[in-house]
Amino acid sequence: MGWRDRFGLRKANRKGKARFDRAAEDSDIKALIEFAKTRVGVEFFVEPETFATRATAVAVATDGEWIRRRCGSPEVLRKVAADLAAPAYDVQIVGYPQRMRDWTERNKRGLSMDD
């Protein structure tokens, strides 16, 4: 694996069947890593590739804050999660955590945890 493909995205992007989405980039993986390193209790939820979008991952912190980024493939995300000692789940099997939905609802209304 060369220095230009340290996350294994080149191989993952070649296998994809999505037709309308852009390929995952190092910046996508770096954003997930940065989120995990700066939040408490982050878990990853891998979303499957569809015809329109490539595989994505949602990183969810303990307080429910979350981000979604392209990950190239579930294997790429599982490798990143293992390096961070964070769990990675298949969202089709376990679903999204309630804390994620709660955080989204709070932030839609402009409320904080202290309100």
- CA-CA-CA-CA torsion sign (71, 75, 77, 80): negative
Could you list the residue range(s) of the whole structural domain that residue 17 is in?
A: 3-108
Model confidence at 17: pLDDT above 80: no
Indicate the number of domains in the chain: 1
Model confidence at 20: pLDDT above 70: no
- Residue 11: inside a domain: yes
Which pTM value belongs to this model? 0.78
- Residue 113: inside a domain: no
Helices 26-38 and 74-84: crossing angle in degrees, nearest 10, is 30
Mean of per-residue pLDDT scores for the chain = 85
Q: What is the pLDDT of residues 68-90, one digit of tens each?
A: 999 988 999 999 999 999 999 99
